[in-house]
Amino acid sequence: MAGFIGMYVAIGLKKRGDFVIGIDNFNNYYDVNLKQARAKELKKLGIDCLHTDICDGTTIDQLVAQHGITHLVHLAAQAGVRYSLECPETYVKSNLDGFVTLLEVCRKYPAIKFIYASSSSVYGLNRKQPFSEKDFTDSPASLYGATKKANEVIAHAYHHIFDIPVTGLRFFTVYGPWGRPDMAAWIFTKNILEGKPIPVYNNGKMKRDFTYIDDIVDGVIAAVDKGFACELINLGNNQPEELEDLIRYIEQACGKKAIQDLLPMQLGDVLETCAEIDKAKKLLNFSPKVSLEEGIRRFVTWYKSYTQVN
């Protein structure tokens, strides 16, 4: 819950009157201080974020029983495509072991609706654009993508065998204030403001379906309310943008030009992502509203404020 998307979803649910409690293991994949700062923001709203791992089924079971939990929103995972090349065992523990642990809790309380984060990375080497939920997803380009695909298959099995309601949401490049330091928006903003080169892979010839955090939260909360029996749904902006445009918007918001370090394509990366969101529109009334230019302006404004304080 002290993660980027988890923080925003928790706030969204709390503000409309839901009881919300969360867990986070506060690992050091990126700056723990940022996670602790997010947890402090949650605490101000009366949302507890307990220092617990998703692999600790006993503690999660106790929380469910104590608070009469009706929905389990699972947004915890070891993130990052490139890091999965360095520490694959971390992905197995968090994204596979932890996932099954949570489903085993749901197995004990089968009325709980399980909503979980999947990823556009499941589409892997698929070249067809835009990516549709009906597309082939058996050729992952990274271990991270493979674990997310495994989550979808495991969730389907638990639904089939134990009738657990499961909804997987395939997120497409989520960004915004309080975002992750390993993502392009943060790295580029930081380096541009500090006068350092930014790493630009494949000479900038890449496209991403950048999706602003507020739009993602709308989709997640709609999925919570619907509580489908078993669904997979894309949540993206349906408007892929060139990496060069992302850089230009950050330059404008920072008031400085980037020093570009042009690099080859990275292992595990893909050239383009684009979400087909017809299903999200139909089932969730999902309609992305924030443009990349506006979203980046908001992010850079937040980043300057956050780094001045921290």
What the block records as the tokens of 248 is 């230009």
DSSP codes, the chain: --SHHHHHHHHHHHHTT---EEEE---SSS-HHHHHHHHHHHHHTT-EEEE--TT-HHHHHHHHHHHT--EEEE------TGGGGT-HHHHIIIIIIHHHHHHHHHHHSTTSEEEEEEEGGGGTT---SSB-TTS-----SSHHHHHHHHHHHHHHHHHHHH---EEEEEE--EE-TT--TTSHHHHHHHHHHHT-EEEEEGGG--EE--EEHHHHHHHHHHHHHH--SEEEEEES-S--EEHHHHHHHHHHHHTS--EEEEEPPPTT--SB--B--HHHHHHH-------HHHHHHHHHHHHHHHHHH-
Catalytic annotation, residues: 144
Whether the ω angle into residue 130 lies within 30 degrees of 0, i.e. cis, is yes
What the block records as the tokens of 203 is 């000479």
Q: How far apart are CA 251 and CA 244, in angstroms?
A: 11
To the nearest 10°, report the CA torsion of 51, 52, 53, 59. Answer: -170
